[in-house]
Structure 1
Amino acid sequence: MNFFGIGLPEMVLILVVALLVFGPKKLPEIGRSMGKAIRSFQDASKEFENEFKREADKLTETTPQPMEATLEEKPTLAPAEQDQDTEEPITATTIEKE
């Protein structure tokens, strides 16, 4: 029996210390309140899980088919109109050191 990494001898030691600290009359009341707290935590986690599943189902109902991605054709560029009178050709020149 292993709860949260605590073995049986450690559990017995914890219960004996709790019995000495709280007394035999208070110990059952503490156990009941801890049980109720654990139960409410379990109920809250189940409610959260159910709400999450409902929202996921609602999303799948609104989008019945998956979205499809398509590639568009690349636009073809028209040849540039060059006016030979206004443009001068670019030439490379070398710079000489003195």
Structure 2
Amino acid sequence: MKILGLGVPELVIILIVVLLIFGPKNLPKLGASLGKTVKSLREGMAFDKKDDEEEVVEVVEEEPEPAPAKTTAVKKVVKKKAE
């Protein structure tokens, strides 16, 4: 029996190493978090498939032409000298 190209002896060695690293108290927490991760990954992949099946309709509205720039008039002030 091969799982991901690994035989039973290799899987047993990997499980023993994991047990030594994390300890028996943390294995349930590790398994629960791994299960939640796999579940969310599957839900995310299913969500992507639903998006592909739905028809996407884009409404493109033409942008109005920008208003012409306002020109500001500059008044020239001339002061007469008092004679």
Q: TM-score, normalised by structure 1?
A: 0.52
Q: Specify the structure having the higher radius of gyration (Cα).
A: 1
The number of residue pairs the alignment matches comes to 57
Any unmatched runs of 5+ in structure 1? 60-98
Asked if 1:46 corresponds to 2:46, the answer is: yes
Any unmatched runs of 5+ in structure 2? 58-83
Asked if 1:27 corresponds to 2:38, the answer is: no
Structure 1 counterpart SS, 2:54 = helix
> Hey, what's the Cα distance between the residues in 2 that align with 1:7 and 1:42?
26
CA deviation map 1:26-84 (0-9, x unaligned): 011101101110110000001101111113xx68xxxxxxxxxxxxxxxxxxxxxxxxx
Superposition misfits of 4+ residues, deviation over 3 angstroms: none
> Hey, what's the Cα distance between the residues in 1 that align with 2:18 and 2:9?
14
Cα drift, residue 6 of structure 1: 1.9
Cα drift, residue 4 of structure 1: 2.1
Identity of aligned residues (%): 40
